[in-house]
Structures are given as structure tokens and as C-alpha cells.
């Protein structure tokens, strides 16, 4: 399916408002929407639940219908607003959900997608959301027409569950992306990893950050690092780090967060500020985009993250985009009581040959617990 003609068919069927969180599997469609739909009609949301709420508000404000796009890993985030707001038994808000089906049974995928992929149809059934599976050869016009008619008739959300490789490459020009700083994420990760003490724990966020940290350890021959790779559960990295920091107050815990990730569940920041674990260093690698799934913009460059951190109660707040600044911030954060917050403005982009962890999540967890004496 061609993203541009798919989008036109949606428009022809009265779907002109788009919101969601980008997905690698929907990358080409997301690129097309980002490049061609005016910003009044396209909002990249902080999390998928917020996108369902935005589509609800759009319907209330216009009488028209919105489209919510997401990866199936975001299904958990939409369960509550779906069942308690948009459902036909509550407010009955029609909207079209376009869900990327990572981990579809029979299609090889990463461990964090396997279970979610297997239970996705059952979750939609349990939520009583009617859905149609679509793929490369789908007659998009017929399916969209049918889905839109059903969502109107039932007055509730209806979903399209999208198989891998369903969309062809979007041929149009993508959006020009702002550049955050001179360093790449990989360089920033390496600088931080080398600057902190050996017994510090690193909790790394979902996507390229975890993959790059993993590859850094392999490159350095560090077979038993004290790292936790948050391969799924995007947005919860800082809370995982806080949990370890509270439990091990004499050990420095460094959270390597992303801008998309920190925004997804930003409520964690004032909670960290209030609990004030002295040994927590929360670093946001801010590249202004969801780099790992196709570089769609976040609010990372429009929000003042350092002001948010100060207002949340972090006791040390730094910003930097260069090696010396990172080293100075990490040094101060290590010598002074925190919680500390460091915003690192970086450029987007990753190595073409970036691999994926060869060890399993369970091996990763067991190793960390062994290294910090909890297993």
C-alpha cells in the first residue's frame, strides 16, 4: 500500500485528524502524515492514551472523526481511555485506530514484542474493538470504507491491525529536522559510561539507546555490566531507575532517558523530585525526535526540560551538548547529593549497522542482579 494514497483514502472517508505515537512498522505512513498533514490536524502525542483523548476532544469539538496510530506495544496505554471514555457504553466516540502489529506470531521479532504480538488480537477482542488485519495486498479503499462505516454505526473505535511491510516507501520529501547538538547519542552514551564509577548502575531507555549501550559493552569486552536495558515499557526508565536508587542508596544509579521516553510518562519527574533519591542521576539524551522509529518530532526541543526538572524538585540541574560539559555535569552529580538531572542536547541518527542485544532480557536482568548482589 502506498502511504500517500492510503492517507487520501482516509481523507476521502472523512478522517482528516491524526494523532498517535510513531511506530517503526508504520514508519512510512507516519512520515507521510508528518510531511503532508498540517499541524492543526496532526499531533504527535506524548503517549497513546493521550492520543485517544485528543481524538475524543477533536470529535467533541468538530463532530468529525480522528485517527489514532500506534504500535501494539502502546495498546496498554490506550486501554483505560478506550474502555472508560470512547467505548460505546460510555461516551461512544468513533475513531479509527491504526495499530502496527509487532511480534505477529510467525514473524521473527525481538523478545519484548513476542508476547504483545501474540495477545494483540485477544486484547482487541477483550476490549470489544472490532478490527481488520491489513497487509501489502489489502484493498485499502474497501477496508477503510467498511471500517469507517462500522465505527460510525457502532459509535465507537474500530481498528486496523497492520502487518509488517504493509506500507511501501513514502516517496515525498520528509520534514526537515532540527539538529540538537554536535554529539551523536552513541558518543554521549560512551562519554557518560566512561565518566561514572564502576559500581554505578545504568538504566537505559527503549530503542537505540539500549542497543547502543549494549554494543558499547561488547566493544569494550565488558561481559557483565551493571546495566538494565528497558527494551520495552517505553517511558518507564526513570521509574525503574528510581526504584533501584531507593533500594540501593549507596550506589549511584544513572538513568539514560530519551526525550520521547521522558515525555511519555513525565509524571515520574515530580515523583522523583519529591522522593529525592540522592544517588539518582537522570540524563535525558534529547534529540528532539523519536529517532528509534523513524525520527518523528517530539516536544523535546520546545519544552524546557531543565526548568521542569527544577520545578519537579531535582536538586542539581545541568544542560550540555559537548564532551567537557557532560564530564563536568557527571562529576558534579557524582560528588553532590541529588537527585540530579542532566539534559544533553544531541543530534539524531544512528549507525546503519547497529545491532540488537544477543543476550535475552532475562539474562540481562539476572546478570544485573548478580552484579549488584540481589540474586
Q: Report which DSSP code applies to 288.
A: S
Does residue 21 touch ligand TPP according to CB under 6 A? yes
Task: Confirm or reject binding of residue 184 to ligand TPP (CB under 6 A).
Answer: no
**Per CB under 6 A, does 320 bind ligand TPP?**
no
**157 binding ligand TPP? (CB under 6 A):** no
**Closest CB 351 distance from ligand TPP, rounded Å:** 13
End-to-end CA distance of the chain: 49
113 binds ligand TPP per the rule CB under 6 A: no
Distance, CA of 209 to CA of 360 (rounded, Å): 16
Residue 260 binding ligand TPP, by CB under 6 A: yes
Nearest to 342 by CA among 331, 354, 353, 326: 326
Residue 86 to residues 129, 237, 263, Cα–Cα distance (Å) = 11, 29, 24
Q: Does 16 participate in binding ligand TPP (rule CB under 6 A)?
A: no
What is the rounded distance in angstroms from the CA atom of residue 110 to the CA atom of residue 12? Answer: 36
Nearer to ligand TPP, 3 or 22 (CB): 22
Q: By CB under 6 A, what part of segment 294-313 binds ligand TPP?
A: 298
Helices (H), the chain: 3-12, 27-36, 48-62, 75-81, 111-126, 140-154, 185-195, 208-220, 237-247, 259-264, 268-275, 305-312, 323-335, 361-371
Please tell me the distance from the alpha carbon of residue 67 to that of residue 15, in angstroms, as a whole number.
7
**201 or 238: CB nearest ligand TPP:** 238
- Of 73-81, 189-197, 332-340, 359-367, the window that binds ligand TPP (rule: CB under 6 A) is 73-81
Instruction: Name which position in 44, 53, 193, 234 contacts ligand TPP (CB under 6 A).
Output: 234
CB of 186 to ligand TPP, least distance (A): 10
Per CB under 6 A, residues contacting ligand TPP are 21-23, 71, 73-74, 77, 185, 205-209, 232, 234, 258-261, 287, 289-293, 298
Amino acid at each position: 500500500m502506498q502511504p500517500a494514497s492510503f492517507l487520501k483514502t482516509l481523507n476521502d472517508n472523512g478522517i482528516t485528524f491524526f494523532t498517535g505515537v510513531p511506530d517503526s512498522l508504520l514508519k512510512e505512513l507516519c512520515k507521510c502524515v508528518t510531511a503532508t498533514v498540517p499541524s492543526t490536524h496532526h499531533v504527535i502525542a506524548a503517549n497513546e492514551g493521550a492520543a485517544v483523548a485528543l481524538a475524543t476532544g477533536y470529535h467533541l469539538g468538530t463532530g468529525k472523526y480522528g485517527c489514532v496510530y500506534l504500535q501494539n506495544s502502546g495498546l496498554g496505554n490506550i486501554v483505560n481511555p478506550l474502555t472508560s471514555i470512547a467505548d460505546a457504553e460510555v461516551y461512544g466516540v468513533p475513531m479509527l485506530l491504526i495499530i502496527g502489529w509487532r511480534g505477529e506470531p510467525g514473524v521473527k521479532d525481538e523478545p519484548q514484542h513476542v508476547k504483545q504480538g501474540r495477545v494483540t488480537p485477544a486484547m482487541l477482542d477483550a476490549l470489544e474493538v472490532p478490527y481488520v488485519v491489513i497487509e501489502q495486498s489489502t484493498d485499502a479503499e474497501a477496508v477503510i470504507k467498511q471500517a469507517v462505516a462500522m465505527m460510525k454505526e457502532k459509535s465507537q473505535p474500530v481498528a486496523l491491525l497492520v502487518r509488517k511491510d504493509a506500507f511501501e516507501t513514502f516517496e515525498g520529501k520528509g520534514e526537515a529536522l532540527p539538529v540538537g547538538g554536535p554529539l551523536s547519542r552513541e558518543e554521549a552514551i560512551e562519554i557518560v559510561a566512561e565518566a561514572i564509577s564502576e559500581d554505578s548502575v545504568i538504566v537505559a531507555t527503549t530503542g537505540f539507546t539500549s542497543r547502543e549501550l549494549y554494543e558499547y559493552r561488547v566493544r569494550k569486552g565488558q561481559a557483565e555490566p551493571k546495566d538494565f536495558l528497558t527494551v520495552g515499557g517505553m517511558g518507564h526508565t526513570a521509574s525503574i531507575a528510581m526504584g533501584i536508587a531507593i533500594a540501593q542508596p549507596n550506589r549511584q544509579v544513572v538513568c539514560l532517558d530519551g526525550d520521547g521516553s521522558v515525555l511519555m510518562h513525565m509524571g515520574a519527574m515530580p515523583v522523583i523530585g519529591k522522593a529525592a533519591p540522592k544517588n539518582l542521576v537522570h540524563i535525558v539524551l534529547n534529540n528532539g525526535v523519536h529517532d528509534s522509529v523513524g525520527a518523528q518530532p517530539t516536544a523535546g526541543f520546545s519544552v524546557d526540560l531543565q526548568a521542569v526538572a527544577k520545578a519537579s524538585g531535582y536538586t542539581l540541574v545541568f544542560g550540555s551538548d559537548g564532551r567537557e560539559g557532560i564530564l563536568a555535569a557527571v562529576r558534579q552529580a557524582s560528588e553532590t547529593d541529588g537527585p540530579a538531572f542532566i539534559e544533553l542536547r544531541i543530534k539524531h541518527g544512528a549507525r546503519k549497522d547497529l545491532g540488537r542485544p544477543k543476550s535475552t532480557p532475562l539474562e540481562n536482568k539476572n546478570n544485573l542482579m548478580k552484579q549488584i548482589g540481589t540474586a
